[in-house]
Structure 1
Amino acid sequence: MNYETGFSRDREELDMADSEERARKRRRWWIVGGIALAVLVLVAVGVWASRPAGGAGAAAGGEGGAKQAPTVSVMVPGRRTVDRVVSATGNIAARREMPVGVAGEGGQVTQVLVEPGSWVAAGQVLATVDRRVQSQQINSLAAQIGVSEADLRLAQAELDRAQQLVSRGFISKADIDRKTATRDSARARLGVARAQLAQQQASTSRLDIRAPAAGLILERKVEPGQVVSGGSGVLFRIAKGGELEQLARLGEVDLARMTVGQRATVTPVGSAQTFSGQIWQISPVIDPQTRQGVARIALAYDKALRPGGFASAKIVSGAADVPLLPESAIQSDPKGSFVYIVGPQNKVVRRDVTVGDVTDAGVTVLSGLSGQEAVVVNAGAFLNPGESINPQRIKSGG
């Protein structure tokens, strides 16, 4: 009897504990639910407060949207005559470079008379070679001429006396013929001696290394004391007349647009100075490896232009009547280049274009625009086709 009573009491205590636990869980759920409801109420109040008050705000919704359209600068570019410019790079070189070496038998250089950068005249001596041996040979040949002249005078005098005696019968006709032959032989020996002297003088004069034409000394490769000969190679390099050129390398498509006489401006690397020139020759050959050819741009001499240096060139290859836009107006994506123009109801419309040269004045548009459209100048990257804008027109080129 006591055992059953104790078991009933324990069961009642367990039931009461379970009831209290369930009550605590219900209270937690009520608290969480109340907090969530309060958050929803606060959000709803905030949204309601941000809406226009009353029906008047709703009615003016369309008008308010128009007032909020972004103000965008636009321009009507029209059409302008713009030079077509092709850019190229290449080395500067002498237009006509003349290598100068030993023309004679050579010898030991005694004196070098010019330096790189010197201007020389045609025939001017650039360097001299020792000629002591040749000078003695010239003296010997000159003396031989004196001997031959004396022999000729003697032979002529004997012939003259014999001719005076032949009429008296003291000298036969055969003696006259022999004396005439002796005189002629002496005259011939004199001619040979004179020719040998002239040959030696010419050979000696070739010991001097001379400029073949007037020009600018570009390079010197010889020093006093050096022994030179016909196999010594180039001793001097001369730019004929000081004329220079740029060897502008162009792709075969651009090269096909070039003609002799087209204007160009050349800017050496590291310099802001530009030099005017024109194409004087176009390469008839395309390099099969690089697919490039050379347009040779003639340049007047200037000390800032150094042969062997690198330079960029801008070649004017004609003119075109095209719209000209600022670079900010041109947009691009994987489909290509495009601009935004102002369409009906001030909505932006995408217009695909083909752009040409980029100049200091702007970008030329080869196709896609007539020039009479209102083109968005700025903020094109932040617009979408069909978006309404408030266009603010500016002057062309502004």
Structure 2
Amino acid sequence: MWLTGALSAATLALGACANKDEQGGRDRGAPQVGYVVAAVGAVPVTTELGARTVAFETSEIRPQVSGLIRRRLFTEGGLVRAGQPLYQIDASLYQAAVDQAAANLASARASAQAAEEKARRFAPLAKMQAIAEQDYTDALAQARVARAAVAQNAAMLETARINLRYTNLSAPISGRIGRSLATPGALVSASQATPLAVIQQTDPMYVDMQQSSAELTTLRQAIASGGTTAGSTSVRLRLEDGSAYGFAGTVQFSEITVNEATGTVTLRARFPNPQGLLLPGMFVTALFEQAVNPAAILIPQAAVQRDFDGSAFVYLAGKDNKAVRRKVTAARTVGPNWVVTDGLKAGEHVITQGLANLKQGAPIRPVPAASAQRVGPPPAGQTAKGK
């Protein structure tokens, strides 16, 4: 009887030790995971917009008088400076008009001088009543008419001289001139619709960006409510081949009118273009920090996973050393990190390492992600259990 009781007690003791060893093995076998501490910070809201380059200044060379082109005085595709002669129109008729206007002015001045002299001589005679008062009045009127004729002919002479100057077409701005659309011997007129050439100044260069009016309205409302703050006006460009443009630009202004056809608003930026890499009419992509979100959380991209419906979730290290699955809102990335705007709080431990086969409520051994991870075979107890 005594022996039977002793054996029973020994069996219970051995069973308790076995259970304890098995539980300890399970604890030792919990996977080790690395975590980062979520912290709130200011994150820029980078906007990416389609854009097109526009010349800083554009001037169409058009004739202001009619005539035959005698000479072209520039090299097509070259650089021209403001005031440089470009075309010469036949000036024969306009020179003749100047000569005629000058002769008419001289005649008018002679007539005015005679009329004024006559009126001066009639003045004392009229006081002595040696002539009729009406004769003196008529002489004064004729003198005034003669002076008006002088002014009229002087204006006609100035007009003729202006037209004569217009026979020499010069560059109104400095820049690069395109091909000539008229050759020597061509007849041009002041009313023609086609320009003779086009000059464009490409340094600096404008870039016109198109942004949806709905996006702009949402951004302005967020700034007004204090949810975000206004960002920088600095703009970067990505060229058509995907390469980055080497110079940063600055936003100049935003249009106040929405394009009815596209529902977009035009924003204009100014870029330096010393190397002439940007050409008018190029399609580019503009990137700039239009606003700043002061209450966003950045976490490594490795921490964010996706469900079958595309929604994002992360695993957290719970207080009881168990994995907690949490849905989050992560719509965009900044460098190697996701920007989380909802679902996380500051101070929570987000698991970034050891996520393979991790499940909700699974026991874990969390360590800071910067700690060295143990690499090697699983513990002996876990191996024995697997066998």
Q: Which TM-score applies when normalising by structure 1? A: 0.70
Q: C-alpha separation between the residues in 2 aligned to 1:80 and 1:156?
A: 89
Superposed CA deviations along residues 56-107 of structure 1, whole A, max 9, x for unmatched, are 8886333333333333221113111111222222212236x54534362333
- Of 127-136 and 99-108, more deviation after overlay is shown by 99-108
Q: C-alpha separation between the residues in 1 aligned to 2:279 and 2:46?
A: 25
* Alignment CA distance shift 1:162-1:253 (3 Å): closer
Matched with 1:85 is 46
Q: Check whether the contact 1:129–1:207 (CA below 8 A) recurs between aligned residues.
A: yes
Q: Which of 210, 214, 224 matches 1:249?
A: 210
* Alignment CA distance shift 1:59-1:156 (3 Å): closer
Matched with 1:30 is none
Q: C-alpha separation between the residues in 2 aligned to 1:371 and 1:168?
A: 112
Unaligned runs of 5+ in 2: 1-15, 221-229, 372-387
* Alignment CA distance shift 1:56-1:232 (3 Å): same
Q: Check whether the contact 2:352–2:369 (CA below 8 A) recurs between aligned residues.
A: no
Superposed CA deviations along residues 306-351 of structure 1, whole A, max 9, x for unmatched, are 2211222223232222211111111111240011111244322211
Tell me if 1:300 matches 2:275: no
- Of 217-226 and 228-237, more deviation after overlay is shown by 217-226
Superposed CA deviations along residues 228-278 of structure 1, whole A, max 9, x for unmatched, are 322233445556895543232334442224569852422141332242322
Matched with 1:152 is 112
Matched with 2:187 is 227
Matched with 1:363 is 338
Matched with 2:306 is 332
* Alignment CA distance shift 1:107-1:252 (3 Å): same
Give percent identity, aligned residues only.
23
Q: Check whether the contact 1:84–1:319 (CA below 8 A) recurs between aligned residues.
A: yes
Matched with 1:70 is 31
Q: Check whether the contact 1:113–1:126 (CA below 8 A) recurs between aligned residues.
A: yes
**Which of structures 1 and 2 has the bigger CA Rg?**
1
Superposed CA deviations along residues 169-223 of structure 1, whole A, max 9, x for unmatched, are 98776765665555455434333322211122233334454566x5645755544
Which amino acid letter does the alignment assign opposite residue 275 of structure 1? A
1:1-398 equivalences under 5 Å are 60-94=21-55, 98-102=58-62, 104-109=64-69, 110-113=71-74, 118=79, 120-121=81-82, 127-157=87-117, 160=120, 180=140, 183-209=143-169, 214=173, 216-217=175-176, 219=178, 221-225=180-184, 226-229=186-189, 230-237=191-198, 244-258=205-219, 263-269=233-239, 270=241, 271-272=243-244, 273-278=246-251, 280-282=253-255, 284-285=257-258, 292-302=263-273, 303-320=276-293, 321-335=295-309, 336-360=311-335, 362-394=337-369
* Alignment CA distance shift 1:134-1:375 (3 Å): same
Q: C-alpha separation between the residues in 1 aligned to 2:238 and 2:338?
A: 25
RMSD of equivalent CA atoms? 3.9
* Alignment CA distance shift 1:138-1:277 (3 Å): same
- Of 257-266 and 306-315, more deviation after overlay is shown by 257-266
* Alignment CA distance shift 1:250-1:144 (3 Å): closer
* Alignment CA distance shift 1:356-1:238 (3 Å): farther
Q: Check whether the contact 1:112–1:224 (CA below 8 A) recurs between aligned residues.
A: no
Aligned to 1:89, what secondary structure does the other structure show?
A: strand
Q: C-alpha separation between the residues in 1 aligned to 2:135 and 2:177?
A: 69
Q: Check whether the contact 1:215–1:242 (CA below 8 A) recurs between aligned residues.
A: no
Which amino acid letter does the alignment assign opposite residue 35 of structure 2? V
Matched with 1:40 is none
Which amino acid letter does the alignment assign opposite residue 335 of structure 2? D
Report the CA distance between 1:160 and its aligned residue: 5.0
Aligned to 2:53, what secondary structure does the other structure show?
A: strand
Report the CA distance between 1:165 and its aligned residue: 7.3
Which amino acid letter does the alignment assign opposite residue 228 of structure 1? V
Which amino acid letter does the alignment assign opposite residue 267 of structure 1? L
Superposed CA deviations along residues 128-164 of structure 1, whole A, max 9, x for unmatched, are 4332210121012112222332333344445556667
* Alignment CA distance shift 1:116-1:363 (3 Å): farther
* Alignment CA distance shift 1:251-1:162 (3 Å): closer
Unaligned runs of 5+ in 1: 1-54
Q: C-alpha separation between the residues in 1 aligned to 2:72 and 2:87?
A: 6
Which amino acid letter does the alignment assign opposite residue 78 of structure 1? A
Q: Check whether the contact 1:117–1:217 (CA below 8 A) recurs between aligned residues.
A: yes
